[in-house]
Amino acid sequence: MVLGAVLGVAAGGVLAGCTGTPEAAGTSSAGGTSPATASRPSSARPTSAITSTTSTSSARATAPVSVAPTTAATPLPVVPAWAPSRSDVQPEVKLAAVRTIEAALAHGADGAGVAAARDRVAAAGQDPDLVGALGALVAPSGAAVVQVVDAQYGGILATSASVLVVCRTWTVLAGRVTQGGATIDVRLSSASPRWRVTAVMPSEPGPATTVLSAAARAVLASRRITLPPASAADVRSGQVHDSVLTAMLGLAQQFTLGVSVVRSGHPLLVFGTSRRSDHPQGRAFDTWAVDGQAVVSTARSLVTAYMRAAAAAGSYNVGGPVLLAGSTYFSDDTHHDHVHAGFRT
């Protein structure tokens, strides 16, 4: 379930921004929309002129990570570059978030450390003080590669947004490659000439438990469910309810799942409200790719089938890019790029 990445930040290979028009969208207590905005047709959202060779194909979901020809000093993988889809809502917002994370975390051997990361973030047009909140994700030495698995909305309003940058990392430490990753909640506000990043909040999954449920073990072992690092750590922590895990397993009998967010890295509150989200309580998961196809750009028939299957698997609150009939379902701009499935227990 890997989409997008950066390898060439040290050489100046950062993504360019673009323009778009913000729209407001409300959200519900479980990550959905308010009744006033739930019926907004998906066809009303703006179209971007951005193109991507990976964002509208199955390669976004299944592209393997290969090892590049290396020297002993830089044995790092080559990863595909992330780019927004033509179908993304306000892709320039996602680009601002992704470029900031790429600038902070990806670099050559001579670009390690907080000071260098600050310089790169400043060069990307964002506040260098943001780097401090990334903590241990900023490599103290050696080269580092970042692969953006997904950049999905945690919320998108008229003048503010949350972009959840789901990533894997590879860092050279003491001559060896260490693999890791995180989901980073990037907050932004509208500004000219580009959206401005105001905060970055990395995921904190917590330690792994010594006693996992059978459902948790099955999800971690499934070859039909792809979890990014933070989501896998969420499951290993034992803080994800079995209702979520059994639903994943049931859905995996019909589809292959590219999971983006489970518990950590998601806003604590439904974006723009004071209501608690189901995600931090371990009662929800988001799917960014189904059968190797990105939700944001794949056929509506596949997304519709998946949303209905999520409801049949026990979700009381299913959100996505298609507004289906019934109180179980919702759709808004925030959920144009993924399918949310929330559970009461």
Percent of the chain with pLDDT over 90: 74
In angstroms, the CA 120 to CA 134 distance is: 14
Mind listing the domains of the chain with CATH numbers? 9-202 (no CATH), 214-342 (3.30.1380)
pLDDT in tens, 105-119: 999 989 999 999 999
Kindly indicate the confidence band of residue 85, based on its pLDDT and cuts at 50, 70 and 90: very high
Q: Does residue 2 carry a pLDDT above 60?
A: no
Which two structure tokens, joined as six digits, stand for 4? 């997008």
Kindly indicate the confidence band of residue 134, based on its pLDDT and cuts at 50, 70 and 90: very high
- Say what the pLDDT of residue 69 is: 35
DSSP letters along 251-262, please? HTTTS-EEEEES
- Report the chain's mean pLDDT, rounded to a whole number: 83
Q: Does residue 274 carry a pLDDT above 90?
A: yes
Q: Does residue 41 carry a pLDDT above 50?
A: no
Q: Are 97 and 54 in contact (CB under 8 A)?
A: no
Kindly indicate the confidence band of residue 58, based on its pLDDT and cuts at 50, 70 and 90: very low
Place of tokens 């050279």: 172
In angstroms, the CA 263 to CA 234 distance is: 6
Q: Does residue 130 carry a pLDDT above 60?
A: yes
Kindly indicate the confidence band of residue 81, based on its pLDDT and cuts at 50, 70 and 90: confident
Q: Computed from CA positions of residues 176, 177, 182, 186, in that sequence, does the dihedral angle turn out positive or negative? A: positive
Q: Does residue 27 carry a pLDDT above 60?
A: no
Q: Computed from CA positions of residues 313, 319, 325, 328, in that sequence, does the dihedral angle turn out positive or negative? A: positive
Which two structure tokens, joined as six digits, stand for 180? 């890791």
Mean pLDDT, residues 216-238 taken together:
98
Q: Does residue 304 carry a pLDDT above 80?
A: yes
- What is the SS3 string spanning 180-202? EEEEEEEEEECCCCCCEEEEEEE
- Say what the pLDDT of residue 47 is: 28
Q: Does residue 26 carry a pLDDT above 60?
A: no
Mean pLDDT, residues 147-173 taken together:
96
pTM of the model: 0.80
CA-wise closest residue to 23 among 88, 76, 86? 88
Kindly indicate the confidence band of residue 48, based on its pLDDT and cuts at 50, 70 and 90: very low
In angstroms, the CA 317 to CA 31 distance is: 8
